Chain A
Amino acid sequence: MTFERNFLLAAVALGALIPLVAFNEYALHIGIMIMFSVMLATSLNLIVGYVGEFPLGHTAFFGIGAYSAALLSVRLGLPIYTTIPLAAVVAAIAGLGIGAVTLRLRGPFFVIVTLCFAEVLRLVANNWIDLTNGPMGVSGIAKPASIAGATGVQQKLWFYYAGLLLAAISLLISYRFVYSNIGRAAVALRENRFVAQSIGIWPFYLGLVTFVLAAAVGGLAGGFYAHYISYVGPEVFGFSFMITMIIMVLAGGKGTLAGPVIGAVLVVFLEEFLRDFKDLRFSIFGLIVVGVVIFLPRGLMGFIGRRHESYERRPRGPAEGGAKRDRVAPALKPAGLNRGGAADA
């Protein structure tokens, strides 16, 4: 607990100080992308790391947040200080709805059905031209009034600190969640579903709470993105955001608070580094994903050493790791028990 708290505090403090040494437009842009990525990765990590399911359509919440902020800003002229929180609220409501539907499913079915949701949303964004302007997207999203006439560096500095604040809020939400009773119940469920259920932990309800939180954080990232890029198109629901999110969470280490932060920093730098490789860079990216899965199955946090987590004292034996657990699980969970949330209780 203390390690993670200290790490996160140090990371935020370091983030606050960086503009003092690297004060130019490019460095600030990289910093902003890191802040944005931390939000995304933290959001996905809540579900992958603590519900233990794999939502391949997590971009739904990011996209909903981005479109909400964009439309509220462009159509209603609301200021940035209200659009970003509202984006989080809209995404959270969507999270409640989508979670209530999808969390009844598990494993590959959950993966595919969440992906379907994101695809449907992408197609809606593409076709509901009256609202979303279709494939053209929503552009001209306002910058905050205080920096409207500012130069590039000043604008970037504003967004950098706004991003730092939002990233810190996301991490705080995540931290408070993980060390709350609900978070502990989620860890218990992740570690041993059968035992957790036997002591009265209700997976469906727990998943739903986590889903709403993750959606809110994703919406926050979306709102921030919309205002920073100043344009939102249907591609926000696309697979490329999903892939970067996945790599950040898994390369960093899922189910830890610090992992997604490390992953976000790494992936942003990696993307910048790979720019030199022009068209080859996506192929290299694909190979890196394969490499991470095979050589860093528990991410950098798992690689660095012991996982500094509240459950670190649990007995370690040959049964450790997802592999064995997953193989034991089917015998312990007859399908009738986990088809619907209610039956789980």
Chain B
Amino acid sequence: MDLLLQLVANGLVLGAFYALSALGLTLVFGLMRVVNFAHGELYVIGGLFGWALTVVFGWNYFLALVVVVIALGILGYLIDQVLVARVRGQGEEPTILLTIGLSIFIANTALLIVGTTPVTVASPFASKPLFLGPVVITQARLVLVVICAVLIGAANLLIQKTTLGRAMRATFQDPMAAQLVGIRTPRIYGFTFALGATLAGAAGMLLGSIYVVEASTGGIISLKAFVVVILGGMGSFAGAVAGGLILGLTEALWGGYVSTGYVDAIGFALVIVTLLVRPYGLFSRRAERA
């Protein structure tokens, strides 16, 4: 029983990790329908930039976080306006390739600059263990779960309640109608991509203080993020959380009770099964739209 509780706790933390790292992709892939294979690389950039600021330059953690968020926002906006905008409306294929090319470029350039050594972002949150009954969890991980919840709530509010969020949803439902009512859709695309990149970068920096960041991990982060978004259903933040938790819990329980060999395969198997049963994801109501 104690083992189960501990595994569930580990799974929840892992789930928060997945949900947080998939948050940006929920916007860009789930809502904007850009299949962004550079998502994991944006995460890595956030982590490496955060490491450079806090460790190499010794900045304050929160100041560094603000700088990372702004920098990734600008980067995301530029990627969208300079590259993705050129192939907008040509179907998924060109954007897939574009972002794959971009991810190869970013991953290998990062490798050239920082090398293969994993790095850790310096964080004020202690790694002191907390004992909650039979379950052990570090303070930093608990903080992570809280931050994850706050970020997801904030992003959800932005999309659902603000004018900007409404403009975003309108743009992705029907770009032409959105333009007719005066929404500047190119800006909205750019802004959504920027927000997605920001969330990816913030996730990279936040998680980079608990887990390590490597220049080459972008690919697997992207893949897991796609798994989470598809499991949760397209374009829904609650779905991303659910998808992250499902993936985290399954992996933790499988790893604890069955074997550690195929842990990474579980997510992919889950996606294959999910898409077979519900071709638009577990919690998506988009089934009526192609």
Within 8 A of A (CB), among B240-290: 261-262, 264-265, 268-269, 271-272, 275-276, 279-280, 287-290
For residue B101, CB closer than 8 A to chain A, the reply is: yes
Alpha-carbon separation in the docked complex, A56 to B92 (Å)? 12
* Centre residue among A107, A108, A119, A330 by max chain B CB count within 10 A: A108
Is there an interface contact between B290 and A246, defined as CB atoms closer than 8 Å? Answer: no
Is there an interface contact between A293 and B91, defined as CB atoms closer than 8 Å? Answer: no
Is there an interface contact between B289 and A112, defined as CB atoms closer than 8 Å? Answer: no
For residue B35, CB closer than 8 A to chain A, the reply is: yes
Is there an interface contact between B262 and A127, defined as CB atoms closer than 8 Å? Answer: yes
CB distance from B189 to the nearest CB of A (A): 15
* Chain B hits for A120, CB < 8 A: 265, 268-269, 272
User: A278's closest neighbor in chain B, by CB?
Assistant: B112
What 0/1 pattern do residues 328 to 345 of A give for CB contact below 8 A with B?
Answer: 011001110011000000
Is there an interface contact between A105 and B275, defined as CB atoms closer than 8 Å? Answer: yes
Is there an interface contact between A109 and B275, defined as CB atoms closer than 8 Å? Answer: yes
Within 8 A of B (CB), among A113-166: 113, 115-117, 119-120, 123-124, 127
* Chain B hits for A54, CB < 8 A: 92-93, 96
* Chain A hits for B103, CB < 8 A: 286
Q: A116-B268, A117-B272, A250-B97 are in contact. Are A290 and B105 (CB under 8 A)?
A: yes
What 0/1 pattern do residues 94 to 126 of B give for CB contact below 8 A with A?
Answer: 101110111111111101100000000000000
What 0/1 pattern do residues 300 to 337 of A give for CB contact below 8 A with B?
Answer: 00000000000000000000011100110110011100
For residue B89, CB closer than 8 A to chain A, the reply is: yes
Is there an interface contact between B100 and A246, defined as CB atoms closer than 8 Å? Answer: yes
Is there an interface contact between B272 and A322, defined as CB atoms closer than 8 Å? Answer: no
For residue B223, CB closer than 8 A to chain A, the reply is: yes
Is there an interface contact between B102 and A286, defined as CB atoms closer than 8 Å? Answer: yes
Alpha-carbon separation in the docked complex, A117 to B104 (Å)? 21
Q: A112-B230, A286-B103 are in contact. Are A294 and B264 (CB under 8 A)?
A: no
For residue B191, CB closer than 8 A to chain A, the reply is: no
Q: A56-B96, A111-B92, A330-B290 are in contact. Are A283 and B271 (CB under 8 A)?
A: no
* Chain A hits for B288, CB < 8 A: 335
* Chain B hits for A107, CB < 8 A: 92
Is there an interface contact between A239 and B279, defined as CB atoms closer than 8 Å? Answer: no
Is there an interface contact between B279 and A339, defined as CB atoms closer than 8 Å? Answer: yes
* Chain B hits for A124, CB < 8 A: 262, 265
Is there an interface contact between B279 and A104, defined as CB atoms closer than 8 Å? Answer: yes
User: B94's closest neighbor in chain A, by CB?
Assistant: A293
* Chain B hits for A326, CB < 8 A: 89-91
Alpha-carbon separation in the docked complex, A327 to B289 (Å)? 14
Alpha-carbon separation in the docked complex, A116 to B276 (Å)? 13
* Chain A hits for B107, CB < 8 A: 282, 286
Is there an interface contact between A293 and B104, defined as CB atoms closer than 8 Å? Answer: no
CB distance from B277 to the nearest CB of A (A): 11
Is there an interface contact between A243 and B271, defined as CB atoms closer than 8 Å? Answer: no
For residue B11, CB closer than 8 A to chain A, the reply is: no
For residue B169, CB closer than 8 A to chain A, the reply is: no
Is there an interface contact between B279 and A105, defined as CB atoms closer than 8 Å? Answer: yes
* Chain A hits for B271, CB < 8 A: 112-113, 116
For residue A297, CB closer than 8 A to chain B, the reply is: yes
Is there an interface contact between A113 and B275, defined as CB atoms closer than 8 Å? Answer: yes
For residue B18, CB closer than 8 A to chain A, the reply is: no
Within 8 A of B (CB), among A60-92: none
For residue A21, CB closer than 8 A to chain B, the reply is: no
For residue B77, CB closer than 8 A to chain A, the reply is: no
Q: A289-B104, A334-B290 are in contact. Are A112 and B261 (CB under 8 A)?
A: no
User: A323's closest neighbor in chain B, by CB?
Assistant: B90
CB distance from A107 to the nearest CB of B (A): 6
User: A127's closest neighbor in chain B, by CB?
Assistant: B261
CB distance from A180 to the nearest CB of B (A): 25
Is there an interface contact between B265 and A279, defined as CB atoms closer than 8 Å? Answer: no
Alpha-carbon separation in the docked complex, A327 to B90 (Å)? 8
Within 8 A of A (CB), among B184-238: 219, 223, 226-227, 230
User: Which of the residues B35, B106, B226, B290 comes within 8 Å of A338, measured between beta carbons?
Assistant: B290
Is there an interface contact between B98 and A290, defined as CB atoms closer than 8 Å? Answer: yes
* Chain A hits for B96, CB < 8 A: 54, 56, 108, 111
Is there an interface contact between B101 and A322, defined as CB atoms closer than 8 Å? Answer: no
For residue A101, CB closer than 8 A to chain B, the reply is: yes
For residue A20, CB closer than 8 A to chain B, the reply is: no
* Chain B hits for A279, CB < 8 A: 108, 111-112
Is there an interface contact between B264 and A293, defined as CB atoms closer than 8 Å? Answer: no
For residue A16, CB closer than 8 A to chain B, the reply is: no
CB distance from A104 to the nearest CB of B (A): 7
User: Which of the residues A108, A115, A119, A288 comes within 8 Å of B101, measured between beta carbons?
Assistant: A288
User: A321's closest neighbor in chain B, by CB?
Assistant: B90
Alpha-carbon separation in the docked complex, A246 to B97 (Å)? 8
CB distance from A283 to the nearest CB of B (A): 4
Alpha-carbon separation in the docked complex, A285 to B102 (Å)? 10
Is there an interface contact between A286 and B268, defined as CB atoms closer than 8 Å? Answer: no
For residue A17, CB closer than 8 A to chain B, the reply is: no
Alpha-carbon separation in the docked complex, A243 to B97 (Å)? 9
CB distance from B89 to the nearest CB of A (A): 5
Beyond A124-B265, A290-B102, 7 extra complex contacts between A and B, CB < 8 Å: A113-B271, A280-B112, A287-B101, A287-B105, A289-B104, A293-B87, A323-B89
A-B residue pairs, 9 tightest by C-beta = A289-B101, A286-B105, A286-B104, A116-B268, A282-B108, A290-B101, A326-B91, A123-B265, A323-B90
A-B contact pairs, 19 of them (CB 8 A): A56-B96, A108-B29, A123-B265, A282-B108, A286-B101, A286-B102, A286-B106, A288-B101, A289-B97, A289-B100, A290-B102, A290-B105, A293-B98, A294-B83, A294-B87, A329-B290, A330-B289, A334-B290, A335-B290
